[in-house]
Amino acid sequence: MHIVVCTKHTPDSEAKMSVDEAGNVSWGESPLIINPWDEYAVEEALILRDEHGGTVTVVSVGAEAALEALKHAVAMGCDEAVRVWDDACAGADTLATSYVLAKTVEKIGDVDLLLFGKSAIDAETWQTGSAVARRLGWPALMYTIKIAELDPDGKRIVVERLLEQGRQVVSAPLPAVVGTTKGINEPRYTSFMGIRKAAKMAYPLWTLQDVGAEADKVGAAGSGVRWPEVAMPPAREGEAEIIAGETVEESAAILVDKLLAEKVI
Amino acid sequence: MSNDIFTWVEQFKGEPAAVSWEAIGAARELADELGGSVVACVFGGEGVEKLAQEAISYGADTVLLAEDATLADFRVEPQAALLASVVREAEPSAVVIGATFRGRELGPALAVDLGTGCIADCIALELADGQVVATRPIYAGKLLCKCVVPDRRPQILTTRARAFAKPEPDPARSGEVKQVEPVLAEDDILCQVTGFEAAGGSVSLADAGIIVSGGRGVGGPEGFEPVRELAETLGAALGASRAAVDAGWMPYAHQVGQTGKTVGPDLYVAAGISGAIQHQAGMRTSKVIVAVNKDPEAPIFKLAHYGIVGDLFKVVPALNAALKEKLG
């Protein structure tokens, strides 16, 4: 079985974000890490490989900083890694990124399963996995919390996926796109041996030509969405009003009156 | 291209999602300013016809209704194919979809079909020179981003639950209902839905007007009891911090925060939650935030509007008793 995991790098979730007067976004001293949601996808790929045999390839469309995400995935246990980049890919929305990823998957060729994290913690669109599935014409099994059955020979997968009202059980043919979510597994920590392997590994760079992508369909030119303005949210006005009655009961009664006055209860 | 705005009405077993009516409200405002109509797409299984008049009462001028077994359980393939087909024919200016699990899967699939842009999780929409300018949070709400779809149409927008006001329904409003036929036959659809396991608890966090959440401070699964009782008194949804979920005290479906659900209720009560930045990311847009924590230095007090410093096992039952007295 050939499993491909798509990943990207993001600032750490604790990063203090800021925007300067020119509109440039900064995450300060915070490190770039693998998108935390992608760790669930990598872990699931490794579990499935160890159960069914095969290879796990991790893919990222990104400039050199994307190596951070690829290295982490290899340190966790992925077998191969591919980075795809061309300066023309800069400024892409999910329409353009999904095009490059779909082309990359087609170039890899023998893919049975394509895994994604639920979303990326930077732009948080949740869109790329669904868009790639649509481009490839593969089933999209987003928000999967459990792979109930996987039959590589019979080319079928059954998953439980999270919707607002509960879990939908879906059966689909392979190849398929699976979007993972928290709860599907507990991502492993990287081992010393894994980190050494990741440090020694070669990370091939594929160009647009390598994957057969047309330059006018990538990056800003291939995107539908533009984001001309990024700003800090307005600061909340005022401090919390600390309610300190003589007794707990008095504090509780004062708070209830405040909430009634706010018309929120 | 027309000045019309399309919306997609989400339903589960015939029950509409509240965010779909909010989306109709947002679409109505755009359409009125552009001088266009609001067209609501109701695609579902047998019995969804009743949602057509409901969509009109919330502000739709026209409803495109498809009632077919292939559309009963949500699957992105038949929904996106049919939506793309009616949108291609009508060439609306924009398509507004609620940013639920289903909507956030459908929006990008439609965008690929139509070769256009989908702006995810919008919290505000305005028009500038006839083009939608959408505001959306990024980096867990640490930044706000203004997005546009400058060169392509339609503009696809998914709207966050409770970010847009739900219109007052007017049962006397009239509109036109047009039948449309599914584009895909069952044999053309790859995914088969073979079951559904309903989640425990009836209140959806994303749609909840009041949420009461517990965190590390509740100390264990039984510690959630007073929190649960307060939630019941308020008719609130029950939430939990990541610490409480990771400790196994509450199921993941209740988790609020960056790795859980993003919520925006009128009232958010945080009991025994310190308020890590990842938790704040999931609830900072709540209208009124109340924090109960024994540590006066807890970061949650920086975000809260009202706070009580004290033992939640004393404060929360006292709050519950005071509410029962005042609310009768």
ipTM for this prediction: 0.95
Distance between the two ends of chain B, CA-based, in angstroms?
56
Per-residue pLDDT for B204 more than 90? no
A172 and chain B in contact, CB less than 8 A: yes
CA A242 – CA A257 distance, rounded (Å): 14
Mean pLDDT, all residues of chain B: 95
Listed in sequence order, the residues at least 6 apart from B238 whose beta carbon sits closer than 8 Å to its beta carbon are B201, B203, B211, B212, B213, B214, B224, B227, B228, B231, B250, B254
Q: CB–CB of A127 and B120 under 8 A?
A: yes
Compute CA B309 distance to the chain's CA centroid, rounded to the nearest angstrom. 32
Residue A120 within any structural domain of the chain: yes
Per-residue pLDDT for A76 more than 60? yes
CA A261 – CA A154 distance, rounded (Å): 63
Q: Which of residues 216-235 of A touch B (CB under 8 A)?
A: 223-233
CA B86 – CA B84 distance, rounded (Å): 6
Residue in A with minimal Cα distance to B207: A164
Smallest Cβ distance to B314: which of A121, A224, A248?
A248
Which domain covers residue A158, as residue numbers?
Answer: 2-222
Question: Which of B131, B308, B324 to mutate against chain A (most A CBs within 10 Å)?
Answer: B308
Q: What is the pLDDT of residues B4-52, one digit of tens each?
A: 999 999 999 999 999 999 999 999 999 999 999 999 999 999 999 999 9
pLDDT band, residue A141 (cuts 50/70/90): very high
Smallest Cβ distance to A126: which of B120, B144, B291?
B120
Residue in B with minimal Cα distance to A244: B308
CA A41 – CA A32 distance, rounded (Å): 18
Nearest CA distance, A62 vs chain B (angstrom): 18
Q: What is the pLDDT of residues B56-90, one digit of tens each?
A: 999 999 999 999 999 999 999 999 999 999 999 99
Q: CB–CB of B113 and A11 under 8 A?
A: no
Residue A172 within any structural domain of the chain: yes
Question: Which of B83, B116, B138, B151 to mutate against chain A (most A CBs within 10 Å)?
Answer: B138
The number of domains in chain A is 1
The per-residue pLDDT for A239 is: 80
CA B289 – CA B300 distance, rounded (Å): 9
Residues B230-249 have a mean pLDDT of 95
Per-residue pLDDT for A46 more than 80? yes
Listed in sequence order, the residues at least 6 apart from B202 whose beta carbon sits closer than 8 Å to its beta carbon are none
Q: CB–CB of B105 and A140 under 8 A?
A: yes
Alpha carbons within 13 angstroms on the beta-carbon side of residue B39 total 22
Q: What is the pLDDT of residues A109-140, one digit of tens each?
A: 999 999 999 999 999 999 999 999 999 999 99
B254 membership: H or E segment, kind and range: none
Nearest CA distance, A204 vs chain B (angstrom): 28
Distance between the two ends of chain A, CA-based, in angstroms?
55
Every domain of chain B and the residues it spans: 5-188, 210-327
Q: What is the pLDDT of residues B124-149, one digit of tens each?
A: 999 999 999 999 999 988 999 999 99
Determine the length of chain A.
Answer: 265
Residue A203 within any structural domain of the chain: yes
Chain A residues touching residue B146 (CB < 8 angstroms): 227-231
Residue A140 within any structural domain of the chain: yes
CA B295 – CA B5 distance, rounded (Å): 50
Chain B residues touching residue A139 (CB < 8 angstroms): 77, 190-191
pLDDT band, residue B327 (cuts 50/70/90): confident
The CATH class for the domain spanning B210-327 reads alpha beta
pLDDT band, residue B203 (cuts 50/70/90): low
Chain B residues touching residue A239 (CB < 8 angstroms): 302
Task: Specify the CATH number for the domain of residue A26.
Answer: 3.40.50.620
Chain B residues touching residue A259 (CB < 8 angstroms): 267, 288, 290, 306
Q: CB–CB of B259 and A36 under 8 A?
A: yes
The answer to whether residues A173 and A112 touch, using CB atoms and an 8 Å cutoff, is no
Peptide bond into B154 cis (omega under 30): yes
B5-188 shares its CATH topology with B210-327: yes
Residue in A with minimal Cα distance to B236: A265
A171 and chain B in contact, CB less than 8 A: yes
pTM: 0.93
The per-residue pLDDT for B252 is: 87
Q: CB–CB of B145 and A227 under 8 A?
A: yes
Smallest Cβ distance to B196: which of A19, A168, A240?
A168
B128 and chain A in contact, CB less than 8 A: no
Nearest CA distance, B320 vs chain A (angstrom): 8
Residue A263 within any structural domain of the chain: no
Provide the Cα torsion B62, B68, B71, B72; round to 10°.
110
Q: Which of residues 75-134 of A touch B (CB under 8 A)?
A: 93-95, 98, 121-128, 130-131, 133-134
Per-residue pLDDT for A236 more than 90? no
Q: Which of residues 26-85 of B touch A (CB under 8 A)?
A: 73-77, 80
Domain B5-188 has CATH 3.40.50.720: no
Q: CB–CB of B258 and A121 under 8 A?
A: yes
pLDDT band, residue A101 (cuts 50/70/90): very high
